[in-house]
Amino acid sequence: MHPTDALYDFAQRYLPGGVCASARANAALGHPFYVSRGDGPFVYDLDGREYVDMCLSHGASLLGHNHPRLKAAVQQALELGIICSYETEHHSRLAARLAEMVPCAEMSRFAGSGTETVMHAVRLARAVTGRMKLIKFEGHFHGYADSVYHSSAPRVDQAGPAEAPITIAESAGMPAHERELVIVVPFNDPVALEQAFARHAAESAALILEPVNYDSGCILPEPGFLQTCRALCDRYGMLLVFDEVLTAFRFHPGCAQGYYGVTPDLAVLGKALGGGVPISAICGRREVMLGYRPTGDCEHSGTYLAHLTTVLGAVAALDEYSQPGFYPRLNALAERFYAGFRELIARSGVPMQLQTMGPRFGMYFGVTEPVRNYRQAARQDRGMLLAFVRGCIERGVYFHVAAHHGLSAAHTEAELDRALAAIEGALGDVARGAAL
């Protein structure tokens, strides 16, 4: 039996579905992609075969794998005693560093995952406004908490009219009353958004959104749309919450808010914040953040929040992102890769749309017009995507079937040329399959 099959068989005895997280099942393979180690832009399977990694821990590993500065930071934390549930000077310094870099981050708190941080941000928004409803956009993902896990990837045949989506719970086991507190609006539709505010703002604490909707691939806000979001929140006394779990430090040192020049009241930072170590942050305006205990009445606590290994890891990651030329080099490398990718798409004849922002991108097979909202993204041909991912993996380049993909600062032109060669072959597989 092949080592992958043997491990998958073993894993299924003890892990539901053979995985520790549902999203780690790769539908293109029929099983998880097992790795033995990672180094730089590469991951290695159980046989030691090398793959150029275009998943990168779903965006967390912006520095690549096994980065020496990150390793040294974690080692320092271990030598200090694996400190858990105590405050240190490093915690305050990380918060001060965020205040220097991120426009809204006058104050910060930390957690482990994006799900936790969004949950706490929503609670805070409700506490300081005294309102319970939320307005969100269809196709935007904000973690797995019952309060927000709605309409992130709904079935279109169940989601109602495109201009007035129905709120859809994304999991069994979610209380029906949570759904009643979430108002769903199409992204990039200012008219629908203004109507939702007029109807629901008096009961709504916040508008929460991904400033770049990476969780539907890569859907950019149309010019002026984020400014409209800010203006409506100001007019109706609601908080603007940016979910920057994916956009944080992705293409700009000030995150998406720094790039677009729109400052939210609260922001959630994750993934690249830690460069691969599990840390996320809630940051925002001082008067809002002081709503947390002990200065306010809103609870945010936990034994493992801001574990020192992750705090020092985040400091190391921010040090790296702050190096002169980091973003110009990364973004230029990405643009070179995208130019090659688009040329291959044109030559292959495969109908698809490639949408990009910084070093992360989305692919929409079977779609030829620019994608500006979830309903358009949902038209993707899933079979073509699976064939493409499978073809790339067979050729030594790892993609997951999730909506977004990317490159890291550890990638060079050489690795990306390898990726383009695999992509050319995989597009050929898709073209031949479509012709059958």
Note whether 243 and 172 are same-domain residues.
Answer: yes
pLDDT greater at residue 245 or residue 26: 245
Write down the pLDDT at residue 435: 55
Burial, 169: exposed, middle or buried (Cβ in 10 Å; 0-12, 13-18, 19+)?
Answer: middle
Structural Rg of the chain based on CA atoms: 21
Cis bond upstream, residue 328 (ω within 30): no
Per-residue pLDDT reduced to its tens digit, 351-404: 999 999 999 999 999 999 999 999 999 999 999 999 999 999 999 999 999 999
Note whether 121 and 269 are same-domain residues.
Answer: yes
Q: Round to whole Å and give the CA distance between 365 and 401.
A: 12
Asked if pLDDT for residue 3 goes beyond 70, the answer is yes
Write down the pLDDT at residue 42: 99
Note whether 305 and 333 are same-domain residues.
Answer: no
Give the pLDDT band (50/70/90) at residue 22: confident
pLDDT greater at residue 434 or residue 111: 111
Three-state secondary structure call for residue 224: coil
Average pLDDT of the residues in 339-352 = 98
The residue among 265, 295, 321 that closes a domain is 321
The residue among 280, 303, 321 that closes a domain is 321
Average pLDDT of the residues in 309-332 = 98
Per-residue pLDDT reduced to its tens digit, 127-167: 999 999 999 999 999 999 999 999 999 999 999 999 999 99
CATH number for position 345? 3.90.1150.10
Q: Is residue 201 part of a domain?
A: yes
Domain that holds residue 169: 68-321
Write down the pLDDT at residue 433: 83
Q: Residue 407 in contact with residue 59, Cβ under 8 Å?
A: no
Write down the pLDDT at residue 434: 63
Per-residue pLDDT reduced to its tens digit, 93-137: 999 999 999 999 999 999 999 999 999 999 999 999 999 999 999
Asked if pLDDT for residue 301 goes beyond 60, the answer is yes
Q: Is residue 226 part of a domain?
A: yes
Note whether 61 and 91 are same-domain residues.
Answer: no
**Dihedral of CA 151/154/159/161: which sign?**
positive
Among residues 404, 111, 141, which one has the least CA distance to residue 269?
A: 111
Note whether 317 and 428 are same-domain residues.
Answer: no
Torsion on CA atoms 150, 153, 157, 158, rounded to nearest 10 = -10
Q: Residue 109 belongs to what H/E stretch?
A: strand 107-111
Q: Is residue 173 part of a domain?
A: yes
Note whether 260 and 176 are same-domain residues.
Answer: yes
Asked if pLDDT for residue 436 goes beyond 60, the answer is no
Note whether 405 and 286 are same-domain residues.
Answer: no
Q: Is residue 9 part of a domain?
A: no
CATH number for position 119? 3.40.640.10
Note whether 150 and 258 are same-domain residues.
Answer: yes
Asked if pLDDT for residue 90 goes beyond 90, the answer is yes
β-pair type (239-244, 266-269): parallel
Q: Residue 262 in contact with residue 229, Cβ under 8 Å?
A: yes
Chain-centre distance of CA 279, in angstroms? 13
Average pLDDT of the residues in 220-243 = 99
Give the pLDDT band (50/70/90) at residue 30: confident
Q: Residue 133 belongs to what H/E stretch?
A: strand 133-137
Three-state secondary structure call for residue 208: strand
| Complete edge-to-edge strand list for the sheet that includes strand 360-365 | 352-357, 360-365, 404-406
Write down the pLDDT at residue 31: 86
Note whether 81 and 178 are same-domain residues.
Answer: yes
Q: Is residue 140 part of a domain?
A: yes
**Six token digits for residue 198:** 């007029």
Write down the pLDDT at residue 27: 85
Average pLDDT of the residues in 302-314 = 96
Among residues 142, 213, 161, which one has the least CA distance to residue 377?
A: 213
Q: How far is CA 313 from CA 40, 89, 218, 435, in A?
A: 16, 14, 27, 49
Q: What backbone torsions phi and psi does residue 340 show, to the nearest 5 degrees?
A: -65, -40
Q: Is residue 263 part of a domain?
A: yes
The residue among 321, 339, 354 that closes a domain is 321
Q: Is residue 3 part of a domain?
A: no
Average pLDDT of the residues in 40-45 = 98
Per-residue pLDDT reduced to its tens digit, 273-285: 999 999 999 999 9
Note whether 105 and 146 are same-domain residues.
Answer: yes
Q: Round to whole Å and give the CA distance between 103 and 225.
A: 19
Give the pLDDT band (50/70/90) at residue 1: confident
Q: How many domains does the structure of the chain reveal?
A: 2
Write down the pLDDT at residue 188: 99
Note whether 240 and 272 are same-domain residues.
Answer: yes
Q: What backbone torsions phi and psi does residue 182 show, to the nearest 5 degrees?
A: -120, 125
What is the overall mean pLDDT for the chain?
97
Q: Is residue 29 part of a domain?
A: no
Q: Residue 315 belongs to what H/E stretch?
A: helix 308-321
Note whether 178 and 91 are same-domain residues.
Answer: yes
Average pLDDT of the residues in 303-321 = 97
